[in-house]
Amino acid sequence: MPPTTRSNATFRAGGRTLGPGPVILGVLNVTPDSFSDGGTYLNPEVAASHAAALLDEGAQVIDVGGESTRPGSDPVSPDEELRRVLPVVRAVYDVHPEAVISVDTYRAATAEATLEAGASIVNDVTALRGDPDMAAVVAEAGCPVVLMHMLGEPKTMQQDPRYGDVVREVRDFLAERAEFAVAAGIQPENIILDPGIGFGKTREHNLALLRRLDAIVELGYPVLVGASRKRFIGEITGLEEARARVAGTVAANVLAYERGARLFRVHDVKANREALEVAAAISG
């Protein structure tokens, strides 16, 4: 059975209790081609410094990714992903051993190596479909895992994505992947669901998912929303520059929190943390 049906419970990662309020994941992309900050944090020392800044702004988790999943992106080799990610995880952990580090990967080898180096959450955009060994690695580690919905793959996912009922289809997919994870030995309390905002979805699909996020929350697992600086916010506001979409991101996250989301993956930690703290106080 799922561990909770509300957004106010706690869960543990890296020896720390996260929650019951909103949990902020600060984005740390160590890629040359991410849509918003590609190439900025490739150097491990620079990356560790940025992680420190994210923590100072109130991030509870640092989410490190070594392969861009922006629309149209090509995959990198397993060796290249590990070469990018592992030194950064080590650098962040060495300087901030108290930090909870999440690794954005669908590869079991990368997950295993970075968990040994200090990471404590696996963020898998394929929901354990990308590597047949990933579920076993997560189960053995006993760590939380994020299961995300994505239609297709990054290279082609925004080429005319179609659904009959996007909310029902994403909900059913996530329910099935959670069942798969439990059957593979992953504890229910370690499962986090992500509807995959912007991953094989049009503006209207994203809005429908955020509007009806309660349908996914009702599955009983903590829900993560990754709307930060996404294209649909630019389409609504007319802002082409990703870094300018802070206010739109804040609005999406506050309304997602109201509908039961618990975790928020963001680039702009301070603005989102402050807004979500106020939203949590008002909600009681």
Active site residues: 230, 265
Tell me how far apart the alpha carbons of residues 215 and 256 are, in angstroms, rounded to a whole number: 12
Report angle CA 243, 245, 251 to the nearest 5 degrees: 145
DSSP 207-237: HHHHHTTHHHHTTSS-BEE--TT-HHHHHHH
- Give the residue from 232, 156, 245 showing the smallest Cα distance to 198: 232
- What sign results for the dihedral spanned by CA atoms 164, 165, 170, 171? negative
When computed from its CA atoms, the radius of gyration of the chain, rounded to whole angstroms, is 17
Tell me how far apart the alpha carbons of residues 176 and 172 are, in angstroms, rounded to a whole number: 6
Tell me how far apart the alpha carbons of residues 265 and 224 are, in angstroms, rounded to a whole number: 7
Phi then psi for 163, rounded to 5 degrees? -140, 155
Count the residues in the chain. Answer: 284
Tell me how far apart the alpha carbons of residues 207 and 201 are, in angstroms, rounded to a whole number: 10
- Give the residue from 22, 10, 1 showing the smallest Cα distance to 283: 22
Tell me how far apart the alpha carbons of residues 215 and 238 are, in angstroms, rounded to a whole number: 29
Residue type (1 letter), 113: A
- What sign results for the dihedral spanned by CA atoms 24, 30, 34, 39? positive
